[in-house]
Amino acid sequence: MTSPSAVVDTRWLTEPEQRAWRAFLRGSRLLEVALDRALAPLGTQLSEYEVISMLSEAPSQRLRMSALADLVVQSRSRITHTAARLEKRGWVVREAYLDDRRGVELVLTDAGRAALEDIAIRHVESVREALIDNLEPAEFLALGHAMQKVRDALAEEGQATDAFGI
């Protein structure tokens, strides 16, 4: 299974790296749980909120499925299912995209806009409580800056199939 050299060649994490990595992994897990739980009473999920939030900022409150998928980091198939749920709730409607007849646009409805207002408030509160208020302002901005670098690096590769991969 393991080639002898592989074990040796591996650049194992140093102690401080190990600690940093675990703090990141567990911290971000706890964070996502906290944010999702904040929205649960409103009948939504963070990933759903992200979708309607992106729609609300787009010109004419509409975006193509694929653009949306890339923005919120969901696979094509996942965004289809997410959209179906939002549509059933009346927050969103699908519309044919005329310039490219393969395309579909997702459009925020008035009901969706209304729901978004409440959800956004709760969401921002929870982001402050769980994340921002626990850090120095500069620390938080540095965090964002670092993660933007990671995002840029990973975004390129992920330009592919249904499920991001190859």
Site string for its own copies, 100-129 (x = CB under 8 A): --------------x--xx--x--xx-xx-
How many other C-beta atoms are found inside a 10 Å radius of the C-beta of residue 38? 19
On whether the CB atoms of residues 107 and 86 are closer than 8 A, the answer is no
> 107 forms bridges with which residues in the sheet?
62, 93
Distances (CA, A) of 13 to 22, 23, 26, 147: 11, 14, 17, 20
The interface with DNA within residues 81-140 (CB under 7 A) comprises 81-85, 94, 97, 100-105
On whether the CB atoms of residues 81 and 94 are closer than 8 A, the answer is no
The footprint of its own copies (CB under 8 A) covers: 1-2, 6-7, 10-13, 16-17, 19-31, 33-34, 37, 50, 72-73, 114, 117-118, 121, 124-125, 127-128, 130-132, 134-135, 139-151, 153-155, 157-158, 164-165
> What is the contact surface with DNA in residues (CB under 7 A)?
33, 37, 40, 45, 47, 64-67, 69, 74-85, 94, 97, 100-105, 162-163, 165
